[in-house]
Structure 1
Amino acid sequence: MGARRAVVAALAVIGLFLGGTAAWADEAPLRYVNLGDSYSSGAGIQPAVATAPPQCSQSQLNWAHDIARVKRYQLVDVSCSGADTSDFRASQSPGVAPQLNALTADTKLVTLTIGGNDNSVFTSSIQKCATAAATTAGQGNPCQRAYGDSFVDTINSSNYPNIVKALKDVRAKAPNARVAISGYLTILPATQGCYPIMPIAAGDVPYLNGIQAALNNAVKRAAQQTGATYLDVTAISQGHDACQSPFKRWVEPIVPINAAPVHPNFVGEGVMAKNALDVLGLGIGIGL
């Protein structure tokens, strides 16, 4: 059984076990809103949602769609690739409404990933470290030597309060909803990496892991501060990073070039869905 098929089968079994109970109890489907960035939208994963703005790269196989299929929820998905916290309150681009507009008092569940694009921390750290690695043919830690604590400092001083504000705004617009924010799946192995598939110098792999850990910790702290549920995916995604084989990884590498490098594939999105169901107590524990 393929990895994605195993995830889908697990989610289907959850639905069967819940049939006739929570999944079917409400007279009207529960209103569920998915917000956030490309990790939420499932950027690059086909098939795309035909009714979503093309620039949002929203997939029918993102974690929200997986959850909605299992639970028979009424999904309103406004996640959009490239979104940062400011796009909750203002239009991200022509034809893309502020994400908070999707929330109402009758919204019962909100899921999201957000924060990685604030101050371009996510893309900037990857791009700058890749550029630095090219100068040393993947050896040493040129990125750490060039940028030091700057990324982590930015996350703590700016990204973190931005996420707190975003979650408070979500709560204000959807006061009756459970709000769950996920961390970001592990991108690199603990050491060494896989240059040039992921063009990061060997000594900079722990450095980038530290930046990602700081970002996930900022998301976790913001959830705690605002009463949201933090969906921790760090431990479960160990060993499924972008350096693994195509049948094992949950995050895609930069080489070979694909639609959304350094982003979850459809298996990773399915794992995020299952983790959310488990943490929120909406499913049953099934090993993948």
Structure 2
Amino acid sequence: MRHPRTAACSAALLLATACVAAAPETARTAPRTPAVGYVALGDSYSAGLGAGDYLPTGTNCKRSSRAYPVLWASAHKVTSFAFPACNHARTSDVLSGQLGALGAGTRLVTLTVGGMDAGFAGVMTTCALGGTSRCLSAVADARTAVDRSLGDSLDRLYSAIRDRAPAARVVVLGYPHLYRLRGTCEIGLQDSARAALNDGVDHLDALIARRAAAHGFTFADVRPAFAGHEICSRSPWLHSVDVLAPTESYHPTSPGQSHGYLPVLDRVS
């Protein structure tokens, strides 16, 4: 496996293919393009928001040369690679705007998606600004939203992926716990709110894993890889609240992509 800096340096060589199926900013059907071998779909965790060194795609998708799909494609010398993953993408956005590069020749598809459907951004804003009681209520509402509609949304997306890429291995990567309980943080959320957020991640990951298995896809659990590297740990791989770059808050850092997500994908792909 290449060092992440080597992979990042090679991102310029991948850029031409990385943007073959660039995701639109609004939900509309992307034009179908010739199928490529590896297609990386999904939301901000797939795009690499928080890892820096963003590719000049002319969009607000925040695709990073340090994101796990780019690192994997570089390490495995992938010559046919599309990278339509996009910040803020919901399952409906992936379905309507990111599947254009899939086809009979696609051999690997990766994606992380579902957090935005669960209201991740709103929950984290409430927890950061609203206090413990409002945070616990927001997490409970998010769990309800997951149970009510996310399963059907994932089924529609997963079925479309299989229809368009019948021969592909599809790896669905989950989300890490956000907080280390009884960790190094002296201010911020109480541990009861941090525990509720981690439980919410467990609930979300469990549903994603069940729906992935039902479609014959591989679920890759990143929580063990991030254990000991959550927010409030001594060596966090996730951004805490960042007032200078608020959109990067609660997203993996560059080490989170290269040491957290990438090895997990390597083990199952």
Question: What interval of TM-score do these two structures reach, taking the shorter chain for normalisation?
Answer: 0.7 to 0.9
Contact 2:172 2:212 (C-alpha < 8 Å) held by counterparts: yes
Partners of 1:274 and 1:172 in 2: CA distance: 28
Task: Give 1:146 shift.
Answer: 3.6
Residue 19 of structure 1 is matched in structure 2 by none
- 2:181 alignment counterpart: 190
Maintained 8 Å contact 1:191/1:206: no
- The alpha carbon displacement at 1:7 in A equals 5.7
Does structure 1 retain, via aligned residues, the 8 Å contact 2:178–2:197? no
Any conservation in 2 of the 1:195–1:202 contact (CA below 8 Å)?
A: no
Matched, 1:62 2:72: no
Cα deviations by residue, 1:53-110 (Å, 9 ceiling, x for unpaired): 43100011100011101111121100000000111233xxxxxxx1011211111100
2:255 to 267, 279, 287: 267
1:47 paired with 2:38, answer no
Partner of 1:128: 126
Aligned CA RMSD, in angstroms, stands at: 2.4
Q: Aligned with 1:236: secondary structure?
A: helix
Matched, 1:84 2:90: yes
> 5 Å matches for 1:190-229?
190-191=181-182, 194=185, 196=187, 199-229=188-218
Residue identity opposite 1:217 in structure 2: A
Query: Do 2:91 and 2:153's aligned partners in 1 also have CA atoms closer than 8 Å?
Result: yes
How high is the TM-score relative to the length of structure 1?
0.75
Structure possessing the higher radius of gyration over alpha carbons: 1
TM-score under structure 2 length normalisation: 0.80
Tell me the secondary structure at the aligned position of residue 210 of structure 2. Answer: helix
Percentage identity across aligned positions?
Answer: 26
Deviation at 1:169, TM superposition (A): 1.1
SS at match of 1:254: coil
Which residue is equivalent to 1:143? 134
Q: Secondary structure at the match of 2:199?
A: helix
Q: Structure 1, unaligned stretches of length 5 or more? A: 12-29, 91-97, 134-140, 281-288
8 Å Cα contact 2:176/2:201 also seen in 1: no
State the alpha-carbon separation in 2 of the partners of residues 159 and 191 from structure 1.
31
| CA deviation map 1:180-226 (0-9, x unaligned) | 01001221113578364xx4233211111111111111111111111
Deviation at 1:175, TM superposition (A): 0.7
- Flag structure 2 segments of 5+ consecutive residues without an equivalent: 8-35
SS of alignment partner, residue 223 of structure 2: coil
Distance 1:179 1:61 in 2: 21
Matches of 1:47 and 1:145, distance apart in 2: 34
Preserved contact between residue 130 and residue 201 of structure 1 (Cα < 8 Å)? no
Find 1:152's aligned residue among 143, 148, 153: 143
Q: Is the 8 A contact 2:136 2:193 kept in 1?
A: no
Q: Does 1:71 align with 2:92?
A: no
CA distance in 2, matches of 1:148, 1:38: 20
For residue 239 of structure 1, the aligned residue among 228, 233, 239 is: 228
Gap change, CA 1:7 and 1:274, over 3 Å in 2 = farther
Distance 1:249 1:232 in 2: 18
CA distance in 2, matches of 1:148, 1:106: 41
TM alignment of 1:87-126, pairs within 5 A: 87-90=93-96, 98-119=97-118, 121-126=119-124
Match of 2:39 in 1: 33
Q: Does 1:251 align with 2:238?
A: yes
Change in Cα spacing, 1:147 to 1:80, as seen in structure 2 (3 Å) is closer
CA shift, 1:130, in A, is 2.0
Distance 1:147 1:38 in 2: 21
CA distance in 1, matches of 2:3, 2:202: 26
CA distance in 2, matches of 1:167, 1:226: 7
